[in-house]
Structure 1
Amino acid sequence: MYSLTPVRALRAMVVLALTAGFATHLPTAHAATPAVDTASAVAAKPYMGWSSWSMQSSKYPGLNPDGDYSYLTEANVNKQTDALASKLKKYGYDYLNIDAGWWMDKAWKSGYDQYGRQKADPVRFPSGMKAVADRIHSKGLKAGIYLPAGLEKGAYGDGKTPIWNADGCTTADIVYSDLRTTNGWDSAYKIDFSKPCAQKYIDSQAQLIAGWGYDFLKLDGVGPGSGKSGDQYDNVADVAAWNKAITDTGRPIHLEVSWSLDYGHAADWQKYSNGWRIDTDVECYCNTLVTWENSVDDRWDDTPAWTDKAGPGGWNDLDSLDVGNGAMDGLTKAERQSYATLWAVAKSPLFTGDDLTKLDDYGVSLLTNREVIAVDQSDAPPARPVT
């Protein structure tokens, strides 16, 4: 199917979707529209690009020689930036997203500035995060960065850490007095947005990443979702605060929330963000990037409920599309093709976590098939299940 002429390939894509239990909408069919401003250029279509997490998290030989997650360095980001620009940019892949750990040393100890905001680890990113974004932009690409929900425990300090541009506000003034924890790992204190200083802290983080020139933020560990439920882990107010803070920067920044977001709050994710991870991580945390059973195949079961939630301004995120590295992906060719097919007909963001410097021929054929990309990027709504 991938070698067909453009028109025949698009038709074959529809047939494949049908035989898999999905039907594609015609462009005139109705689809639910997220409550975000659809006139905005941000997330008008599912974004395309690369993310560092799949290689950071893998135990594939040689990827993380200095310990878990050690792959994430400025040097490696630069290599992937160059490869994205030279190999995939012309097909629409333009986001280069730096995932968790940019403010942590190789022992996973975090660093913060004098205002309790994440600060680049000087070993991982010796030039700093602004310089990295500048280099990404110099290649005609967009730069993405990552933060967890809540106030990280290490940022709290003794509660007397001042908040940037907020006279009299300290970290003690933005959290609950009992220091209840939040996010998918309980790595942060829950922010109390009934306190006037709380929004100021999110504003300070947003101003920082906007000043560095980032175009994308993945906010992770968001609940309800991320394996947690209950008031303590309800981060809807955090996402709303980030939405406001990003708007106030005046910089268009795509806000993506993660992971396994609660379907019951779909309207909130639509209102306040540009994309939402509907499932757990696609990575297997093993000696390949992914495996079929853990957890690529889950998406066929979990995507249908969300189909009518996606549209211009906000999309269902199925996670990384790791189909380009052959043995390192841990999949057969048939599995790689099926993986790419679902992502395209579901109109998920198409971002890969593969090593772009080592794409195999079959991987290139999957990632650069213009007809398949056209299905993902078309004005038609996502395919819907028929059974």
Structure 2
Amino acid sequence: MNKNFLISSPPMGWNSYDYYDTTVNEDNIKANADYMAANLKEYGWEYIVVDIEWYSYDAGTQRDKHQYIPFWRVEMDEYSRLLPCPERFPSSANGQGFKPLADYVHSLGLKFGIHIMRGIPRIAAHNHTKILGTDKTANEIASPYSICSWNPDMYGVIPEDEGSQEYYNSIMNLYAEWGVDFIKCDDICRMDAASSKKEIEMLHKAIQQCGRPMVLSLSPGPARIEEAWHYEKYADMWRITDDFWDDWRLVLNMFERCELWQNHVDKGGYPDCDMLPVGMLGKGFADEHMTHLTRDEQITMMTLWCVFRSPLMIGGELTLLDEWTEKLLTNSEVLSLLTFSHNARQLVRDSVHCVWYSEHKVGDCKYLTVFNLADEERVIKVSPTIVNKETFVGLKFKELWTKETFTCENEELSVKIPAHGAKLYKY
């Protein structure tokens, strides 16, 4: 299986982290899956992803002190493989794992994903538990010096040691039995640990041998641009930023990151701008709130993500989406850029405005995107020379958010855009 043929467009889905943090449970997952199937699936949304610490007992109960409770009880089998906590995911009891929940998600016509951490559980290394497919035990392949700086659950493995690849093979084989379609591996993308680069290869190899196609997503960022070839060869998507939240300054910074990565967006490999912090966020962080991004800022975010062709993962609680946010997420003409556009590139950017260009894969249609980065409404003029034209006179434009259509009567395109807003034109 060549991973470049696994996905032909950026994945679209929902991830539990932005709303639930570590506290998501089976009922939450089913409720969001039900909502996606009923309201979003027809627009291309299909992945339901259970994020971090689904194996942990009492997750979130010490939030005033710890996001991830150190050295706490986790659910694990005899072969050092983490299992869903049955108190939070009751259908996983009696060795069922995530298969019943994955089956439920699949019954809705959707796909199921999980978050994992790089490496092997520390508790497995401390207890010298077995590894399926080898006589080696967890302590023999775990590196006590390869640890995550922000999560206490795992040790990295020693790639050269016998048993390390067998461990990764064993967890992917288990996930294949469960019916997992999407793996988000954390503490690996920015290669903080010396073994991270090799462990990406090991994950890829483990997926290749398991017999089930799975998208491999790498976190957290920022990814290393000098390692672009490595990400493209061994992963399907990789984060180009650290955790992205509902802060205009982070949206603004993403223009720089997209410019850096614009030449590395291709079939089967997608630089990832991270989740869309829209709707209700933060319940698991003891900070439940409606996104702090204004409506215009959300339009700018969605526009950049779609023009750049980033994967789209909704962070807000789906069952609490308001009508405006649902419309933001279900604009078919905007979302079509993920599948039917290519050759996206930034043409100009300064402190107050930015212009991106892309092309439809079929026919002569082009896209011109104008962003107002300033803190006040502005009229932005775009010269036709920026897209190698002598004039815009007579060209028909359609703005894909408002559906406004017009024929340009001037050589330049003159656009009034609200503060932090965007216009996406097809012409």
- TM-score, scaled to structure 2: 0.72
Tell me the alpha carbon deviations over residues 180-232 of structure 1, each in whole angstroms, 9 at most, x when there is no partner: 1234536332211111211000000100111100000000011544xx3xxx4
Post-superposition offset of 1:37: 4.4
Q: Which residue of 2 aligns with 1:30?
A: none
Which letter does structure 2 place at the counterpart of 1:192? Answer: I
For residues 37 and 131 of structure 2, the distance between their equivalents in structure 1, rounded to whole angstroms, comes to 38
Unpaired stretches in structure 1, ≥5 consecutive residues: 1-35, 58-68, 284-289
* Pair 1:46 & 2:10 matched: yes
What does residue range 207-286 of structure 1 map to in structure 2 within 5 Å?
Answer: 207-225=173-191, 228=192, 232-260=193-221, 261-283=223-245
Q: Distance in 2 between matches of 1:325 and 1:333?
A: 14
Is the CA contact 1:133–1:213 (under 8 Å) kept in the aligned structure 2? Answer: yes
8 Å contact 1:105–1:121 — kept in the other structure?
Answer: yes
What is the Cα-based RMSD across aligned positions, in Å?
A: 1.8
Secondary structure in 1 aligned to 2:216?
A: strand
Q: CA deviation at 1:157?
A: 2.6
What secondary structure, in the 3-state scheme, does the structure 1 residue paired with 2:104 have?
Answer: helix
Residue 382 of structure 1 and its aligned partner are, at CA, apart by 3.3
1:247 partner amino acid: Q
Residue equivalent to 1:180: 145
The answer as to 2:35 corresponding to 1:83 is yes
Q: Which runs of 5+ in 2 are unaligned?
A: 60-68, 93-97, 282-288, 350-427
1:272 shift after superposition? 0.5
Specify the structure having the higher radius of gyration (Cα): 2
- % identical equivalent positions: 32
**1:383 Cα shift?**
3.2
Aligned ranges 1:252-331 → 2 under 5 Å? 252-260=213-221, 261-283=223-245, 290-293=246-249, 295-325=250-280, 328-331=290-293
| Partner residue, 1:163 | 131
Please give the alpha-carbon distance, in whole angstroms, between the structure 1 residues aligned to 2:81 and 2:242.
27
Q: Counterparts of 2:212 and 2:103 in 1: how far apart (Å)?
A: 15
Alpha-carbon deviations, 1:345-377, whole Å to 9, x = none? 110011201121121121122100011001122
Corresponding residue of 1:141: 110
Contact kept in structure 2, 1:223 and 1:235, CA below 8 Å? yes
The CA deviation at 1:324 is 4.0
Question: In the alignment, what sits opposite 1:102?
Answer: 54
Higher normalized contact order (CA 8 Å, seq sep 6+, divided by chain length): 1
Q: TM-score, normalised by structure 1?
A: 0.79
Residue from 322, 328, 332 that aligns with 1:360: 322
SS in structure 2 of the partner of residue 127 of structure 1: helix
Give the whole-Å Cα distance in 1 for the aligned partners of 2:189 and 2:309.
Answer: 23
In structure 1, the partner of 2:86 is 122
| Residues 1:334 and 2:302 aligned together | no
Mapped to 1, the partners of 2:49 and 2:343 lie a distance apart of: 26
Verify the 8 A CA contact 1:223 1:234 in the aligned structure 2: no
Q: What is the rounded CA distance, in whole Å, between the counterparts of 1:105 and 1:145 in structure 2?
A: 17
Q: Tell me what 1:56 maps to.
A: 20
Check 1:184–1:341 CA distance in 2 against 1; reply closer, same or farther (3 A cut): farther
Q: Say if 2:163 is the partner of 1:200.
A: no
Query: What SS does the corresponding residue of 1:381 show, helix, strand or coil?
Result: strand
- 2:325 maps to a residue whose letter is G
Which region of structure 1 is more displaced relative to structure 2, 74-83 or 258-267? Answer: 258-267
State how far apart, in whole Å, the 1-side matches of 2:296 and 2:44 are.
24
Deviation at 1:173, TM superposition (A): 2.5
Distance 2:343 2:58 in 1: 43
* Aligned partner letter, 1:350: L
Larger strand percent: 2
